Structure 1
Amino acid sequence: MIRYVVVPMISVQLLLVVLVYFTIVRKRISAQYAWYFCFLVTVILFLAGRPAQLYVSQEAADYILYARVSLLFTLGMPSMLIASAIYTGIRKSKALFILPYLIGFCMSVGYVLGMDLARNNFLLLSSAWKNFLPFSITVDAVHDLQLLSICTLLVVPCSYFLIRALINFKNVKDLVFLFASLLFGMLFATGTYWGEYSYIYYFGSIVPAFCWAWVVFKDVNEMKGKVGSLKDELYQVVQSGSSAAGQEVDKLLGQIEHLSSNNLTVYKLRLREILSRLTDNTIEAGGDSEQLLIKYDQQNKAIDIEEDANKLRELTHSQAMEFSQIIAAIPNQRIERIKQYLCEHYQEDIDIEQLATTFNISRSYLMREFKKETQQTVNQFLTARRIEMAKELLKTHSVTDTAFAVGFNNSNYFSTVFKKTTGSTPIQFQQSLS
C-alpha cells in the first residue's frame, strides 16, 4: 500500500511544485517550456494513476494502466528527449520533433496491445488474436518492450547528450540537466527490469525534477544578471549623449533580443522596462515630464501591437536616441541656478532633500550632477561659501556672531570647520588681520 499509494502521491505533490515553478518562469525558458510542461504533466498523471488503480474495478484499472503508459511513452518521454536535445544544442529539424513521438506511439501501442493479450484481458483485442499470432506473448516480453522503449527514448540519447557535453566542456548547469534526464530514464528502467522495485521510479522521479528546477533557477538568475548589465550599459550610453551612441544602442538592443530566446513576449517586456527607465531618467535630467509621459504611452501602445522583432528594435532605438538628444540638449543651467541659490541662502539651514524638491529633481540626481559639474558635493560647496563669507564678517564681528550669521548653529563647530578649511582658527585669522 505504501509503495503504490503513499510514495506516488508524495512524488505527485513535489512534481506539482516543480510544474508551478516552471509555469511561473515560463517566459524565461520559452525555448523548452512546452516540452517541460508536457513531460511533467504526463509524469504526474502517470504517478497519480497508480493509486487510482487500487480503488476501481479490474477492468477500469487496466484501462487506467494503458492510459498511464500511453501518455508517458507517447508524449512524456519524447518531450523530455526533445528538451534535452535542444538544451544540448542539437540542430533543430523535423526529424527531431517527429521521430521521438512516432517511436513513443509505436512503443505504447505495442505495450498496450501486448499486455492486453498477455494478461488475457481482451479489452481491446479479442481472444482470436492470440490464436492468430504465430508466437505467444508473455508479460515478461511486454516488460522487455517497455524496457527497450525507455532505453530508446531516454537512456541511450541522454547518455549521448551527456558524453557530448563532457567532451565539449559544457558548464555545470548543462551537465546537471542532462544527468537528471539520464537519471530519470535509468531509474525507470531499473523499476521496469525489477518489477518488485517499481517504487524506485515513483519516488526517484523527484530527484531529476528538482535538478531541472535548479538548472532553470540558475538560468533565470544568470539571464537577469546579463540582461540587467546590458540595460545599465544602454542607459549610460543614452545619457552620455555621444555622437556614436546610435551604433552602441543598436548593438545592445540586439544582445537583449538574443537573450530573450526569440520570445517576442519577453522581448516586449524588456523593451517596456527600458523605455520606462529612459523616460524617468530623461525627466530627472530636466526633460518636459508631460510630453515625455505622453510619448511613453504612445510607444507602449506601439510595442503592444507590433509583432515584428526588427521593427520593435527600430522603434526602441529611435526612442532611445531621442532621449539621448534631449539629455544632451538640456543645459547645465539647473546646476548653475542651484549654485546661485546656495550662494544667496548660505546662512539658512539647507536640507538636500528640500533643495531637490525646490528644483523639482530627485536627491540622487542632484548629488550626482552637482558633483559632476562642480567637483564638490553640495555640502562642500555650501561650506566653502560660508567660510568665504565668514572671512569678511570676522573683520568686524565676533566669532560667535559670525558663526550664526553664516549658518552655523554652534561656534565651536564653526571654529573646527574654519580651521580645517583655512589652516587657522577664527581668532588667529582675526589676529592676522590686525
Structure 2
Amino acid sequence: MSKHTAAVDPAATPVAELVETTGHAGSEWLSRYSSSLMGVFGAPQRVLVRGAGCLVWDADGKEYLDLLGGIAVNALGHAHPFVTSVISSQLATLGHVSNFFTSPTQVALAEKLLELAQAPAGSKVFFSNSGTEANEAAFKLARRNTGTGDTRRTKIIALEGAFHGRTMGALALTAKEAYRTPFEPLPGGVVHIPFGDVEALKAAVDETVAAVFLEPIQGEAGVRPLPPGYLKAARELTARTGALLILDEVQTGIGRTGKWLASEDAGIMPDAVTLAKGLGGGFPIGALLTFGEQTSSLLSAGQHGTTFGGNPVATAAALATLHALESQHVLANVAAVGEHLRSALAAIPGVTEVRGEGLLIGFDLDADVAPGVVQAGLDAGFIVNSPGPRTIRLAPPLILTTAQADTFLAAFPAILQTAKDAS
C-alpha cells in the first residue's frame, strides 16, 4: 500500500483503551446498537472498524471498496495521513474557542473558500457543522430579503425532488412527502415547482419571491443534473425580481464533479452557496458563502449563530482537505475516473441510463432491484447506495483509481444478476 492508503490497526490506537474494537463480531455490535441508539436510520448494514484510502473493513474482517464515501463526504478517502496529522496537531494546540473569538484557521479557510468561489469584494462566509445547518442559515438569509414598499417578498421557491436537509427550515425546502408529513406544519411560504422546467420557473418567480433554492445536481433524487441553461435562466429571473439565487452545493461542491463548484460552467454568480460533506474530508463542517456586500449584510449581529461552527479543528481539517485536493491534482482524477465509470456503466446490460458529473454518478436499472443490488454489492465487497427502487448512486472518494473502478465494473453484472435472482 502507498503512504496514502496505509491501514491503521485500531487495536494499536488510544481508542482501544476506551472501546475494544477487536474480538467482537459484527452481530454483537449490531445487537448493542439496537439496544442503545434510536432507530431513525434503521438497522446498520455493517459495523465498520477501520479504513484506508478507498477501502474499509468491518468488524468481521471483511474488506470493501467504498464507492459511497460516507455519502460524498470522504473526499480524500479514509485516514488520509496529511489530513489526520493536521487535525491531530490542531487539536493538540487549540480545540475550541466559541464564537466570542476567532482563530487563524477560521479566517484562512474563509479566505480560501472565497478565493476558490471567485467571490466578488464584500463576500462573506458563515461556518456551520453540517449541510443542513448551512441550509438553515441560507433559509434565514432568504427570510431577511423581505423587499420594500407594498410588495413584500414572502415566498421561497424550491424544486420537486429537492433535498436540502432534515431540520425544520431545511425540511420545508425538501420535497419528499415521506420526510415532510410527520413534522407538519413546517415553516411556511415554500413552493415546490417541477424539476428542470424553465417555463414553470418563469411563472413562479415574481416580486413576492425572496429566494430560489437549487441543487445543480439533485443527489437524493437519483443524481439528476439541471438541464443546460436552467441556472442561467434562474439567475436572470432572480436578478430581475430581486429574489436571491441560493445554490445548494453540499453534495456537488469541493471537487465532487471535477470542479470546485458544480455551477462553475453555468457562467453565473449566485447570491449564496452552501457547502458541507467533502469540505472537511470526513470531519463535520458546513459553510454558507454569500456573494457581494448587499447579500452579505442581510444577516446582522445576533440574527444567527452557532457554538461549534468554524471551530479551529474543523477549519483546520477543511484547510488540509483543500490543500491536498489542490497539491495532489485530485480534481483531474475526478474528471478522468468519473468519465471512465460513466462510459463503462452505460455499456453494461441491464443499465438503462447513466447520469452525473465527475464522481457523483447515478444509474438506472431495468428492474426494481436497486436495494437488492446494495445488499449483493456488500456481499461482493462493494459499498453503493440506492436512492430509488431502480437507481444506484456512486459518490466514492475523489482519489478512486481507474483500477479500483474496474474491479467494480467487472463485478457489477454478477451483482445485478444476484439481485434479480433474489427478487
TM category (shorter chain) comes to under 0.3
The structure number with the bigger radius of gyration is 1
When normalised by structure 1's length, the TM-score is: 0.20
Q: Which has the higher helix share?
A: 1
